[in-house]
Amino acid sequence: MMIKPVFEMTIPPPLRSYIISYLMSYFDSSPPTLTLIINKYEIKNGMCNEFYGAAQVYLSTKINRDAAELRISRDRSEKSVNLYLNVGEVFSDVYQGINLRWQLFVNNKKSTDFGKIFKGILHEECFKLSFEKKHSDLVLNSYVPYVESKAKVIKNERKILKTYSYCNMTLKWKSVNLEHPSTFDTMAMNDELKRKVMGDLDRFKDLYKRVGKPWKRGYLLHGPPGTGKTSLVAAMANYLKFDIYDLRLASVKGEADLRRLLLSTTNNSILLVEDIDCSKDLPTRLQPMTHDDSKGQAALTLSGLLICIDGLWSSCGDKRIVIFTTNNERLDPALLRPGRMDMHIYMGHCCFDGFKTLAFNYFGLSHYDRHHLYPEIKRLINGQVLTPAQVAEELMKNEDADVALEGLVRLLKRKRSGEEKYDDAFRKNMEKLEEGEEA
């Protein structure tokens, strides 16, 4: 009681506060901590804070179900409901031996700015991330990027893919959920080609970022009808978690409309132009330019299509894929120039690898099963005999694997017999021509 008055009378207030804080830190054995405030909105412009969203997604998979209160919500772009921290709830995380403490707060600010009140910034939620100050560099340079990368993976897993088609009535893209079940595991195609396509998709995600180019990759799928071109597009979309924009050139009036459509597509998407050989009679570069009198704009040409894809569309975003499909090879050489169609994929008739995939899909027969009809099917199926669609149609006729495979063998023999008769007739005709007889 005697020391306190003397202390307050003889020592100036600034020095007194310093002494008190020093003594408190001396007797406090806990290490100094740093707390990062992660606001939901940017302070300067009121835009959404991307790291706040990443933290929310990341923590939704780490939440302790024993918490007293959790929030539950469902976004229409995601597959299932998700749990999130409620205000005041605490979550402890461990990263490389570092203990981190997350807590959700609400900042109640006072302001007369109506714009801020309307945006909800005054009652903004924020995360507080606390940790020992000595680990600041590791948290900022390693843990924060780790949270962002994990959130991106989680969002891709939850994402509902969309297929967009152009609506002439609204002049906008209209979407439906992409529920195509095709994956690379279920694709009836050559195993080596399948691995090549998957490797190409994986390799260029990192390569284009490293060399500083926008990630735009072009694929040309060609082959007879029923060989799985559309299924491969769906498998690529499911593999990359990309939306599909199905562009029907017949509905595009001119180059101005095409540019507007391409600019309204988003990143992480596939632009699909099916049957490029017959979807629209596009003038080539050698034909004179025409105009669409209804709108006064230049009519769509093949050159205009390629310029839009190569120039404007490829530079206005990132992570884009363009896929052209065709049933024949009668295409303008400009379409095949390297840099436009980076990879040509021939979707041929069903091979034995493709058959085994279909047999697994329909009957659960693994690639290592040795059905007694497999050797005969392998002998009969190789070559241009049946498309994957024809094989699948035959396998669907009966739920019994033995009966279905026997039916497939009979179909293959009939097809082979027809080909052999045609080859014999052609050979005899050629022999007559060589002998100078009338064919």
Comparing CA positions, the residue from 317, 298, 307 lying closest to residue 337 is 307
* Distance separating alpha carbons of residues 439 and 435, to the nearest angstrom: 10
Whether 238 has a pLDDT exceeding 60, the answer reads: yes
Q: What is the mean pLDDT of residues 91-114?
A: 79
How many CB atoms within 10 Å of residue 358?
21
How far, in Å, CA of 369 to CA of 383, rounded? 23
Amino acid letter for position 237: A
| Least confident range of 47-51, 123-127, 212-216 | 212-216
How far, in Å, CA of 71 to CA of 401, rounded? Answer: 49
Overall average pLDDT of the 131-141 stretch? 94
Span 374-384, average pLDDT: 89
Q: Is the pLDDT of residue 115 over 70?
A: no
The two three-digit tokens of residue 261, written as one number:
């459509």
Map 103-158 to HEC letters.
EEEEEECCCCCHHHHHHCCCEEEEEEEEEEHHHHHHHHHHHHHHHHHHHHHHHHHH
CA angle, residues 315, 318, 319, in degrees to nearest 5: 130
Rounded distance, CA 210 to CA 284, Å? 36
The pLDDT of 206-235, averaged and rounded, is 83
**For residue 222, what are the CA distances in angstroms to 84, 218, 232?**
47, 13, 11
What is the average per-residue pLDDT within 180-208?
87
397-424 mean pLDDT:
82
373 band by pLDDT with thresholds 50, 70 and 90: very high
CA–CA gap between residue 164 and residue 261 (Å, rounded): 11
pLDDT confidence band for 160 (50 / 70 / 90): confident
Query: What sign does the CA torsion over 16, 18, 23, 24 have?
Result: positive
Look at residue 35 and tell me whether its pLDDT is greater than 90: yes
Cβ proximity of 236 and 271 under 8 Å: no
What's the pLDDT score for residue 286?
38
Question: Closest Cα partner for 53 from 63, 45, 42?
Answer: 42
In this predicted structure, the answer to whether residue 54 has a pLDDT above a threshold of 70 is yes
What would the mean pLDDT of 342-362 be, rounded to a whole number?
91
Asked whether 208 and 222 are in contact (CB, 8 A), the reply is no
Cα–Cα distance for residue pair 433/427, rounded to 1 Å: 10
Residue 163, phi then psi, degrees to nearest 5: -115, 125
Confidence of residue 438 (pLDDT cuts 50, 70, 90): very low
Which amino acid does the sequence have at 195?
A: R
Give percent of the chain with pLDDT exceeding 70: 73
Instruction: Provide the token pair at 239.
Output: 């593999």
Q: Kind of pairing, strands 269-273 and 172-177?
A: unpaired
Reading across the β-sheet that carries 343-346, which strands appear in turn? Answer: 172-177, 162-167, 243-246, 269-273, 320-326, 216-222, 343-346
More confident of the two residues 163 and 76: 163
**What secondary structure letter does DSSP report for 331?**
-
The pLDDT value given to residue 108: 62
Q: Give pLDDT, residue 311.
A: 65
Please state, in angstroms and rounded to a whole number, the distance separating the CA atoms of residues 279 and 282: 9
- pLDDT band per the 50, 70, 90 thresholds, residue 422: very low
Read off the pLDDT of each residue in 94-114 and give the average, rounded to a whole number: 77
pLDDT at position 43, please?
Answer: 67
Query: pTM of the entire structure?
Result: 0.71
3-state secondary structure at position 396: coil
Homologous superfamily of 162-346: P-loop containing nucleotide triphosphate hydrolases (3.40.50.300)
For residues 435 and 359, give the distance between their C-alpha atoms in angstroms, rounded to a whole number: 49
Range of weakest confidence among 64-68, 125-129, 373-377, 422-426:
422-426
pLDDT band at 275 (very low <50, low <70, confident <90, very high): confident
* Least confident window among 89-103, 129-143, 240-254, 282-296: 282-296
Q: What is the pLDDT of residue 366?
A: 77
**Backbone dihedral angles phi then psi of residue 328, each to the nearest 5 degrees:** -145, 180
By mean pLDDT, which of 4-8, 116-120, 341-345, 416-420 is the weakest?
116-120
Question: In whole numbers, what is the pLDDT of the chain averaged over residues?
Answer: 79
Residue 146 CB contacts under 8 Å (≥ 6 apart), including other chains: 95
pLDDT band at 289 (very low <50, low <70, confident <90, very high): very low
Burial class (CB in 10 A: 0-12, 13-18, 19+), 306: middle
pLDDT (0 to 100) of residue 144: 95
- Residue range 309-324, pLDDT digits in tens: 776 565 666 788 889 9
Query: 78: helix, coil or strand?
Result: strand
**Across 24-38, 109-123, 372-386, least confident range:** 109-123
Judged by average pLDDT, the poorest of 25-29, 326-330, 399-403 is 25-29
Q: How far apart are alpha carbons 25 and 30 in whole angstroms? A: 9
The distance in angstroms from the start CA to the end CA of the chain is 129
Higher-confidence residue of 24 and 120: namely: 24
Q: Is the pLDDT of residue 109 over 80?
A: no
- CATH 3.40.50.300, the chain: domain bounds: 162-346
Q: Which residues pair with 367 in a beta bridge?
A: none
Question: Is residue 15 over pLDDT 60?
Answer: yes
